Amino acid sequence: MRSFVIAALFAVGLSGAAPARAADASAPGGAASKIEKCEHGVKKTLCARCNPKLILVFKSKGDWCGEHAVPESQCAKCNPKLAKEGVK
């Protein structure tokens, strides 16, 4: 089961585990595509607070902030730049 979760996450783009950002405005068609974000300001499918099953995946990749109990790549308290981008 664990390997299935890891494989599924890689299929949706967890390889960088970075917070989601809006697509470039120079995308085909001229309009930036809207990435669906959760209430925490990160891509909905990668939010460990909305999807607690992802916690083990982030921990296994070494992407975990033990002090704030969120992935380091989603920790706005440790990374103020993320807070400016809307991550809560």
Each residue's pLDDT tens digit, 41-72: 999 999 999 999 999 999 999 999 999 999 99
Could you say which DSSP state residue 41 is in? S
- Position with higher pLDDT, 6 vs 15: 6
Helix, strand or coil for residue 70?
strand
What's the pTM value of the predicted model, to 2 decimals? 0.61
pLDDT reported for residue 30:
43
pLDDT, tens digit, for every residue of 8-35? 555 455 444 444 444 444 445 444 568 8
Q: Do residues 20 and 37 make contact, with C-beta atoms less than 8 angstroms apart?
A: yes
User: Can you count the helices (H) and strands (E) in the chain?
Assistant: 3, 0
Question: Can you give the pLDDT at residue 34?
Answer: 81
Q: How far does Cα 41 stand from its chain's mean position?
A: 9
Q: Could you identify the residue written with the tokens 């969120």?
A: 70
Residue ranges per structural domain of the chain = 2-84
The predicted structure's pLDDT at residue 33: 62
